[in-house]
């Protein structure tokens, strides 16, 4: 059943009023007028990583939410989170923390987080029986202990429809939550990246399926020659006056050629704008596929002598491996090893090199003033594992309305 059909069948809730509020919050979020509102909801972020979701729910949403507690098991993630949001992210295994005798959690309005996704990822060949597929249990334990009225769980698209998805919904419904999930594309919300993630939203008051997913703010110009119109001038898939998808050029086109191979003692954005030292063979491979959109198959056609034998044997699949980005499209999914072209479509559109840490952070929609702490490998993991803040901000708009319209 579509959102419109659901709206027509649910008379007690004024869907038109909600969507008008939705638009009002989006506009006020972008012009910063929400900073003057007194009501801010208390936020807990679990499996927080660097804090991409917290950034979206706090600063990028117009400060609708105030983070009060967070947790991650990676020391550098905790240092990064605390450097940006205040010293309340706790280091440690979540199961050990909640099972300790002296553990107590403050009351919160909403709990967000992305339990490690490797247990569901198609890249994990041993995902069956992976214990990380059960980390939603301590997540919901914190939801219950904090008396949160809304929760948002983020993961890879493969979570939806899985056995664990059914378990999550069953346990959450027994806790008194109405639950709904969907897959969102980050590019539809202003992120210059074609990244898809699953979100499960639970609310104790209003059925989230009426309002989730959030209406799209951006559209694919290859799909729509003109901005898509919204249904009945009131209800639709898109916000009024959506913009075109943000592109790689929008995000990184102003950056100079990177210098060096290490984190630089320079102000942002140049601090994380460094390169690598490719081997002569790697550099020749880059030069053999100079045009936007080329990939390993083009390398084999143009320079078979430079093509690894494993790629020659594998004639199908993996079209993004050793691929070059397009200037005027969003990037492909930024993962933790974006600095290795053999791992995906990570070659710069014009220069013979993979993208830099700063370029990856911008493609994830992190502002240059966000502080990353750690060695370059750890910072790459923080960037690649993060929920794009702009995507999180649009989810935050829906959560805010679930809390205020109850």
The catalytic site residues sit at: 117
Report whether 112 contacts 43 (CB < 8 A): yes
Q: Output 71-79 pairs: Cβ under 8 A, ≥24 positions apart.
A: 71/45, 71/46, 71/47, 71/97, 72/47, 72/48, 74/49, 74/378, 74/381, 76/373, 76/374, 76/375, 76/378, 76/379, 76/382, 77/48, 77/49, 77/50, 77/382, 79/373, 79/374
d(CA 192, CA 228): 19
User: Strands 150-155 and 196-203: what pairing?
Assistant: antiparallel
The string of DSSP codes covering 127-194 is -TT-GGGGTHHHHHHHHHHHT-SEEEEEE-GGGTTSHHHHHHHHHHHHTT-EEEEEEEEGGGGT-SB-
d(CA 50, CA 70): 11
- Tokens 């990822």 — which residue? 121
To which H or E segment does residue 382 belong?
Answer: helix 376-385
CA torsion angle for 16, 18, 23, 29 (degrees, to 10)?
A: 170
Nearest to 76 by CA among 361, 372, 336: 372
Nearest to 395 by CA among 134, 203, 115: 203
Show Cβ contacts of residue 364 under 8 Å, excluding neighbours closer than 6 positions. Answer: 52, 191, 193, 334, 383, 384, 386, 388, 389
Show Cβ contacts of residue 79 under 8 Å, excluding neighbours closer than 6 positions. Answer: 373, 374
d(CA 219, CA 230): 12
């Amino acid at each position: 059943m579509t959102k419109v059909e659901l709206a027509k069948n649910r008379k007690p809730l004024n869907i038109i009023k909600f969507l008008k509020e939705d638009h009002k919050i989006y506009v006020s979020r972008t012009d910063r007028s929400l900073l003057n509102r007194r009501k801010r909801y208390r936020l807990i972020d679990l499996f927080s990583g660097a804090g991409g979701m917290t950034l979206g729910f706090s600063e990028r949403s117009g400060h609708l939410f105030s983070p009060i507690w967070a947790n991650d098991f990676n020391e550098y993630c905790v240092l990064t989170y605390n450097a940006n949001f205040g010293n309340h992210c706790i280091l440690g295994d979540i199961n050990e923390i909640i099972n300790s005798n002296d553990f107590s959690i403050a009351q919160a309005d909403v709990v967000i987080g992305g339990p490690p996704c490797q247990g569901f990822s198609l890249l994990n060949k041993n995902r069956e029986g992976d214990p990380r597929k059960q980390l939603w249990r301590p997540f919901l334990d914190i939801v219950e202990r904090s008396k949160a009225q809304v929760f948002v769980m983020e993961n890879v698209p493969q979570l939806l429809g899985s056995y664990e998805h059914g378990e999550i919904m069953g346990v959450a419904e027994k806790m008194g939550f109405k639950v709904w999930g969907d897959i969102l594309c980050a590019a539809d919300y202003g992120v210059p990246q074609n990244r898809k993630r699953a979100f499960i939203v639970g609310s104790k008051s209003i059925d989230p399926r009426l309002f989730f997913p959030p209406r799209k703010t951006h559209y694919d110009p290859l799909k729509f020659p003109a901005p898509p119109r919204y249904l009945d001038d009131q209800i639709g898939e898109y916000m009024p006056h959506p913009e075109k998808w943000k592109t790689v050029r929008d995000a990184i086109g102003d950056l100079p050629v990177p210098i060096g191979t290490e984190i630089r003692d320079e102000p942002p954005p140049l601090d994380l704008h460094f390169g690598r030292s490719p081997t002569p063979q790697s550099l020749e491979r880059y030069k053999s596929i100079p045009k936007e959109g080329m990939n390993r198959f083009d390398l084999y056609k143009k320079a078979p002598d430079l093509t690894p034998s494993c790629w020659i044997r594998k004639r199908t699949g993996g079209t993004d491996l050793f691929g070059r980005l397009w200037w005027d499209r969003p990037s492909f999914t930024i993962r933790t090893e974006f600095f290795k072209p053999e791992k995906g479509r990570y070659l710069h559109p014009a220069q013979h090199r993979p993208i830099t840490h700063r370029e990856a952070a911008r493609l994830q929609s992190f502002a240059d003033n966000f502080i990353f702490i750690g060695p370059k490998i750890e910072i790459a993991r923080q960037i690649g594992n993060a929920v794009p803040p702009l995507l999180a901000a649009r989810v935050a708009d829906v959560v805010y309305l679930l809390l205020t319209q109850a």
